[in-house]
A = this chain, B = another copy of it.
Amino acid sequence: MKQLTTRQQEILDFLTGYIEKNSYPPTVRETAKAFSISIKGAYDHIKALEKKGFIKLQENRSRALEVVSRRESDSSVAEIPLLGAIAAGAPILAEESWAGTVKIPADYARSGACFALRVQGDSMRDAGIRSGDLAIIEQRPTAENGEIVAALIEDSATLKRFFRENNRIRLQAENPDYAPIFTQDVRILGKLKAIIRRY
């Protein structure tokens, strides 16, 4: 990305500051007024910032301005979908199965490749996973032996420990009250990356 002039940096700072404060961007005229310059003067600066890739504009729309740089620094938070009931056959991340989104520190999960599940039941109790916990899952079609995975069992995502055996797959709960599930074909949604529990 190209270098900004000091003036352009000032303009950009104003834009981001304004957005921060008002939650919507300023108009060209407001920007002009803030710097006591002409409208075209401000307009040129904004266009220059667009050309250099620091902001995005939409033609003929008021305040249709988005700061693209600066935004990346905000990537410390990832917003990932929280899945509810999963429609059979539908893509995992189909909007229908979204129960909302959760924000987690970005280094916990590459967003886009991750989603969250609310744990139901105590089948993983002995792995220290309790009902109500938030499970962060990284999307994967398969898993390694012994990993905890989210698998699609009867239209809902369930956490189980994954084992590939001779001709079958064993999905093992971590609770003696639950028998292992043996199956030839199971849909692995992803592997467990983190557990978050709130008190």
Contacts and interface: CB of A to CB of B under 8 A. Distances in A.
A199 B67 contact: no
Contact of A103 (B23, B75, B194): B75
Nearest to A30: B61
Given A76-B74, A133-B128, A195-B196, A66 B23 contact: yes
A27 B103 CA distance: 28
Interface residues of A, number: 42
A contact patch SS: mixed
Contacts of A64: 22, 24, 63
A62 B63 CA distance: 7
A65 B196 CA distance: 34
Interface of A: 19, 22-25, 27, 61-67, 71, 73-77, 102-108, 125, 128-130, 133, 147-148, 191-199
21 contacts: A19-B23, A22-B64, A22-B66, A23-B66, A24-B25, A24-B65, A27-B62, A63-B64, A73-B103, A76-B76, A76-B77, A76-B103, A77-B77, A77-B105, A102-B105, A108-B198, A128-B128, A128-B133, A193-B198, A195-B195, A195-B199
